[in-house]
Amino acid sequence: MARKKKSNKETSHIVELTDNIHIEGAGSLVEQPITQTLTKNYMPYAMSVILSRAIPEIDGFKPSHRKLLYTMYLDKLLDGKRAKSAKIVGDVMKLNPHGDSAIYETMVRLAKGHEALLNPYVDSKGNFGKAYSRDMAYAASRYTEAKLAPICNELFGDINKDTVDFVPNYDNTMTEPTLLPVTFPTVLANITTGIAVGMASSICSFNLKELCETTIEVLRNKDHVIGDTLLGPDFPGGGYFIYDREALEKVYETGRGGLRVRAKYEYDKKNHCIDITEIPPTATVEAIIDKVVELAKAGTVKEVADIRDETGMQGLRLTIDLKRGTDPDKLMAKLFKQTQLEDSFPCNFNILVDGTPRVMGVREIIEQWARFRIECVRRRTAFTRDKRAKQLHLLEGLQKILLDIDKAIKIIRETDEEADVVPNLMIGFGIDKVQAEYVAEIKLRHLNREFILKRTRDIEKIREEIALLDAILESKSRIKTIIIKELKAVMEKYGEERKTKLLYLDDIAEEEVEEEIPDYPVTVFFTGEGYFKKITPLSLRMASDQKLKEGDRVVQSLETTNAKEVLFFTDKCQVYKARISDFQDSKASVLGDYVPSALDMEPDEKARYMVVLEAYKGYMLFAFGNGKLAKVEMSAYETKSNRKKLIKAYCGKFDLADMMYIPEDTEVVLTSSSTRMLLIDTAMIAPKTTKDTQGVAVMRQKKNQNVESIRLYNKGEFDKPYRYKTKNLPALGAFPSEEDVGEQMTL
């Protein structure tokens, strides 16, 4: 035991130990500024965590990963049989001074059986748990076996050719690489997450084929658009990546952002249940089950009868039994919004480059990896060149001996001291010490012309090889060509199809949860100034006279229901979509809603025409002043996302005279400023799916004349309708007869 030594000085504190060792200041409390404490104690710890623990380096590995893989490489587990995991963990302790459990957990995550990595580095045998389950624990290290996966050939192929630096391990008994000379951008090939002190890293994985192809294109063209070849993240658990080009480009450019991933499901009609087979990488089966049960108990999700985990040898399977009458797609749309069945993968591409943490976009990461790989190839080439130069040097010395083998034998025989053999050969043939040592070590049986000729035959070939290696060292473009060739080889050997499929925003709109909209009869009114009113039958019976702005008039009115969709075409070739339910019930005594304000239209933009739809069937007719008529299918305005605004709703190259909606082909009347009228059947006009089509010429116009309107033809409206019809288009039309003019006036 230790006891405090008595002292009259309050500032002197000495602890006396039983073995008479004294430590100054032990056991005392010392006041110290917090800034000094942070500088001396906390900052070194923070730097150690950032640089040596949590943040990956440009080769894609954290130190713990690198030490594990390199130890397995030294244990010859790249091509050999699997070894017990416990043995591997024990060997890793020579490089990684941590507990066996921490090392084994690292191995588990890198293992193929754990299914955490898109391109696993450890070929495992036994129970390694599952990344998608928090309760499915991995077996102890004594029960499992492992070796390096074939893709690790791309990590260690050049490691013995001076491609990377080596440093001593923690006890100076061996050396380890500071980085691995990877032949492809491993940093983007697998998910890597880590939390350091004051910063974190979260890198999603990308498909190996797409990644290598993108790297090749960036090496060839620095202005290559990343999104053209790198379509999006690819996760080991599959699922669907919701393709949002804007969000994806933000991640590619800044290295930060969120990417949405949703589960894959199938509806079993026979058993009336949903089978979920793939989930986002950030989710676990247990968390999803807990949330669904919670929602069911709260009454938020009433359609679920039961939910259970049926994961087995075939892989993940989460089954949801449905109540009678449940629409599986609508239920899943609701669960996507309220559970981890759809989740966002947070991207924070924080990577150590030259000992400094940097958040980089994909292009910068590839460029930094290319810089690292160029140095690796340069060092490898220099290593090979030096090796060939030494071989050439020895063969050149041997070639000189070839001129007089007998002289060499005579020198060796007549030398009294063994130590003088090398100097005598050097003097006798004019060679250096290295060459002389090589000649002196040749066996007696090899001192013949045939042997020496065979050995020196490749001198010219080696000289050519050295010249080629020198050319590579002097040319950065040649080194890039080598890197591209290696990337193509990686694509061919290990490239696979995407596991995470792309799901475009337009394709998921139908699955969105729609609020229950009360549906009841209404009458809608649209005025020339752009005001909209919906009035219930009861209110309309109480007061039918519509209040309008001075000079305004009702141009469209129809009876419909509250749940219908309404489209407003504007004078700027755009269409805005809404539901009638988006507008408040009104009365005849008020002006109503001003459509440009209600739908956030552009400044000075005005609504010209209203279309009320239940389904996107029928056609839009656009009559232009020059006599052309465009017939556009309504399906062209249908979107699978909730877009409220569509541009290029009709052709803006010509002056638009009039427009109208027809549910099916019918007869319409075009009227010109010359008072000519043309009666045509719209079936004569071919429909287009392109919204801004220019249409076809229908009504010929003379100078300073133009089409003014288009309207439905009422049967019996014309006394002699054949006068206004024609077999061929375009046509001039006909002036109205006195009978038709009178009828028109009556109308």
Residue 44: CB partners within 8 Å, gap ≥ 6?
none
**Given pLDDT bands bounded at 50, 70 and 90, which one contains residue 21?**
low
Domains of the chain: 61-173 (3.90.199.10), 264-340 (3.30.1360.40), 371-494 (1.10.268.10), 615-747 (2.120.10.90)
Question: Among all chains, which residue has been given the structure tokens 């130990």?
Answer: 17
- Length of the chain counted residue by residue: 747
Is the pLDDT assigned to residue 441 strictly greater than 60? yes
Q: Beta 175-177 vs 565-570: how paired, if at all?
A: unpaired
As a whole number of angstroms, the distance between CA 433 and CA 424 comes to: 10
- With b for 16 or more beta-carbon neighbours within 10 A and e for fewer, the 565-580 pattern comes to bbbbbbeebbbbbbeb
Query: Which residues pair with residue 567 across a beta bridge?
Result: 577, 611
The pLDDT of residue 31:
81
Other CB atoms within a 10 A radius of the CB of residue 624 amount to: 24
Q: Identify residue 270 by its one-letter amino acid code.
A: K
Question: Could you read off the pLDDT of 371-407 as tens digits, one per residue?
Answer: 999 999 999 999 999 999 999 998 888 888 877 878 8
Surface-to-core class of residue 114, CB atoms within 10 Å of its CB (0-12 exposed, 13-18 middle, 19+ buried): buried
Is the pLDDT assigned to residue 746 strictly greater than 70? no
Question: Could you read off the pLDDT of 302-347 as tens digits, one per residue?
Answer: 889 999 999 988 889 999 999 888 889 989 998 999 899 999 999 9
Is the pLDDT assigned to residue 11 strictly greater than 60? no
Q: Identify residue 565 by its one-letter amino acid code.
A: E
Nearest C-alpha neighbor of 213 from the set 496, 478, 484, 497: 484
Question: Could you read off the pLDDT of 293-310 as tens digits, one per residue?
Answer: 998 887 778 889 999 999
Assigned token pair, 225: 């658009």
Assigned token pair, 245: 């080009």
Q: Identify residue 402 by its one-letter amino acid code.
A: L
Q: Which of 97-106, 290-299, 400-409 has the lowest mean pLDDT?
A: 400-409
In this prediction, residues 705-718 reach a mean pLDDT of 89
Could you give the count of Cα atoms lying within 13 Å of 309 in the half-sphere of its Cβ?
19
Give the H or E element holding residue 65. helix 63-74
**Given pLDDT bands bounded at 50, 70 and 90, which one contains residue 225?**
very high
Contact 531, 549 (CB under 8 A): yes
Q: Is residue 143 among the annotated active site residues?
A: yes
Q: Which of 33-47, 115-129, 602-616 has the lowest mean pLDDT?
A: 33-47
Nearest C-alpha neighbor of 576 from the set 621, 514, 530: 530
The pLDDT of residue 515:
53
Q: What percent of the chain has pLDDT over 70?
A: 94
As a whole number of angstroms, the distance between CA 596 and CA 401 comes to: 99
Which one is catalytic: 42, 45, 143, 520? 143
Residue 445: CB partners within 8 Å, gap ≥ 6?
none
Contact 167, 66 (CB under 8 A): no
Residue 575, classed as helix, strand or coil, is: strand
**Given pLDDT bands bounded at 50, 70 and 90, which one contains residue 14?**
very low
The pLDDT of residue 240:
95
In this prediction, residues 643-663 reach a mean pLDDT of 91
Question: Could you read off the pLDDT of 483-542 as tens digits, one per residue?
Answer: 999 999 999 999 999 999 999 887 775 444 455 567 889 999 999 999 999 999 888 888
The pLDDT of residue 298:
77
Is the pLDDT assigned to residue 4 strictly greater than 70? no
Q: What single string gives the DSSP state of each residue in 542-576?
A: H--PPP--TT--EEEEEEEETT-EEEEEETTS-EE
As a whole number of angstroms, the distance between CA 40 and CA 19 comes to: 31
3-state helix, strand, coil in the chain (%, to 5): 35, 25, 40
C-alpha angle 62/164/94, rounded to 5°?
A: 55
Question: Could you read off the pLDDT of 565-598 as tens digits, one per residue?
Answer: 999 999 999 999 998 988 988 888 889 999 999 8
Residue 710: CB partners within 8 Å, gap ≥ 6?
621, 623, 629, 657, 658, 659, 660, 668, 669, 670, 671
Give this prediction's pTM: 0.66
Is the pLDDT assigned to residue 706 strictly greater than 70? yes
DSSP 585: P
Is the pLDDT assigned to residue 731 strictly greater than 80? yes
